[in-house]
């Protein structure tokens, strides 16, 4: 930068202004500076700029994994929303492990992000404290808790579970089960667990036994997980009529296992998934599922942050926003009314 200022015959301050807010500089000076920048191939150093201005234009996104198309969609939605405003995403993975999440959050704090987006509303005590004291906007995504740390953009996983149960009940079933992952230990899909909790509650409300909710294996869930948990469920209740899987991935695995065992879906058993993954749409029979607009979650989180970070002084800024993007039941071919 000082090279540029020398070549252009102006002060460093003027070069800085040309880059930050060209309107502040006279047309003539600007031209000189631009020419010098061009000639020297000068690339401004944002690290130095960040240190000086106390703004990094980094936004941290903490996700369980990127190998899940839903979270990848949210990341992409977030990145798209932020791109125009020149923010750079700092992505961290937790592998559904709360200890790892805490570690990632701590590491990320050293990079001084301007805001943090984190998937999930359950954190270690330490992690929650770090986030609360961070002094920057925090957006929890993929759920909408009563009392978010700061902001939240998502939907109620509990209600998803309740709706799943209600739908299966409406189909006339009495023997209803679910396929999920283990709910103990650090590595745990809390959102999936919320769905199972809501599912069980709705079952009980309807006077139906909730003893067929299988929790086996650990997140992230796989096709194999679906196949195995289906086996466990069948061993327990060969007469099960309707099944809710916490993820389409498990649902597809369960469906394939049904094929192998000669159990017809949906004539003998109905299967409902979650997530509306491509594979559920394309497989045969196509999986009935509950859809969430993952990309929209990312986009809305991004827009919320921009409205806060880019607010003019004095403008009023949303406080403790809770955005519920909802969800949608998509009935396809794996669910069917009893005797229908």
Partner DNA sequence: CTGAAAGCGCTTACAG
What is the rounded distance in angstroms from the CA atom of residue 170 to the CA atom of residue 208?
12
Report in angstroms how near the CB of residue 298 gets to its own copies at its nearest: 11
Choices 24-32, 59-67, 296-304, 305-313; region in contact with its own copies by CB under 8 A: 59-67
Q: Which does 1 bind (CB under 5 to 8 A by kind): DNA, its own copies, none?
A: DNA
> Could you tell me how many residues of this chain bind DNA (CB under 7 A)?
27
**Does residue 45 touch DNA according to CB under 7 A?**
yes
Of the candidates 11, 88, 99, 170, which one interacts with its own copies according to CB under 8 A?
Answer: 88
**Do residues 61 and 117 touch, judged by C-beta distance below 8 A?**
yes
Of the candidates 20, 311, 331, 338, which one interacts with DNA according to CB under 7 A?
Answer: 20
Report in angstroms how near the CB of residue 39 gets to DNA at its nearest: 15
Of the candidates 5, 76, 268, 307, which one interacts with its own copies according to CB under 8 A?
Answer: 76
Choices 67-75, 161-169, 187-195, 298-306; region in contact with its own copies by CB under 8 A: 67-75
The number of angstroms, rounded, from the C-alpha of 169 to the middle of its chain's C-alpha atoms is 29
Of the candidates 23, 27, 47, 314, which one interacts with its own copies according to CB under 8 A?
Answer: 47
**Does residue 174 touch its own copies according to CB under 8 A?**
no
Choices 8-16, 38-46, 186-194, 208-216; region in contact with its own copies by CB under 8 A: 38-46
Report in angstroms how near the CB of residue 59 gets to DNA at its nearest: 18
Q: Which does 88 bind (CB under 5 to 8 A by kind): DNA, its own copies, none?
A: its own copies
Return residues touching DNA (CB under 7 A).
Answer: 1-2, 10-14, 16-17, 19-20, 23-26, 28-29, 42, 44-45, 48-49, 51-55
């Amino acid at each position: 930068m000082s090279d540029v200022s020398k070549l252009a015959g102006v002060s460093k301050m003027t070069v800085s202004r040309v880059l930050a807010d060209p309107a502040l500089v006279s047309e003539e000076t600007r031209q000189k500076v631009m020419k010098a920048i061009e000639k020297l191939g000068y690339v401004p150093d944002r690290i130095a700029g960040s240190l000086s201005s106390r703004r990094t234009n980094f936004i941290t996104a903490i996700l369980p994994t990127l190998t899940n198309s839903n979270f990848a969609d949210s990341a992409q939605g977030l990145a798209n929303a932020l791109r125009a405003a020149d923010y750079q995403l700092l992505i961290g993975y937790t592998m559904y492990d709360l200890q790892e999440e805490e570690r990632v959050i701590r590491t990320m704090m050293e990079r001084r992000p301007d805001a943090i987006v984190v998937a999930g509303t359950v954190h270690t005590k330490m992690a929650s404290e770090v986030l609360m004291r961070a002094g920057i906007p925090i957006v929890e995504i993929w759920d909408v808790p009563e009392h978010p740390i700061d902001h939240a953009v998502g939907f109620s996983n509990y209600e998803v579970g309740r709706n799943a149960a209600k739908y299966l009940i409406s189909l006339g079933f009495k023997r209803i089960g679910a396929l999920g992952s283990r709910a103990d230990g650090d590595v745990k899909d809390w959102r999936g667990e919320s769905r199972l909790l809501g599912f069980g509650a709705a079952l009980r409300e309807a006077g139906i036994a909730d003893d067929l909710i299988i929790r086996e294996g650990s997140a992230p869930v796989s096709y194999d997980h679906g196949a195995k948990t289906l086996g466990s469920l069948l061993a327990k209740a060969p007469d099960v009529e309707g099944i809710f899987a916490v993820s389409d991935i498990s649902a597809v695995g369960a469906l394939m296992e049904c094929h192998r065992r000669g159990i017809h879906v949906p004539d003998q058993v109905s299967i409902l998934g979650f997530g509306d993954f491509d594979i559920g749409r394309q497989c045969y029979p196509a999986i009935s599922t509950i859809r969430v607009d993952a990309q929209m979650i990312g986009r809305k989180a991004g827009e919320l942050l921009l409205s806060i970070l880019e607010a003019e002084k004095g403008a009023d800024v949303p406080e403790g926003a809770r955005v519920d993007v909802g969800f949608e039941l998509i009935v396809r071919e794996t669910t069917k009314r009893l005797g229908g």
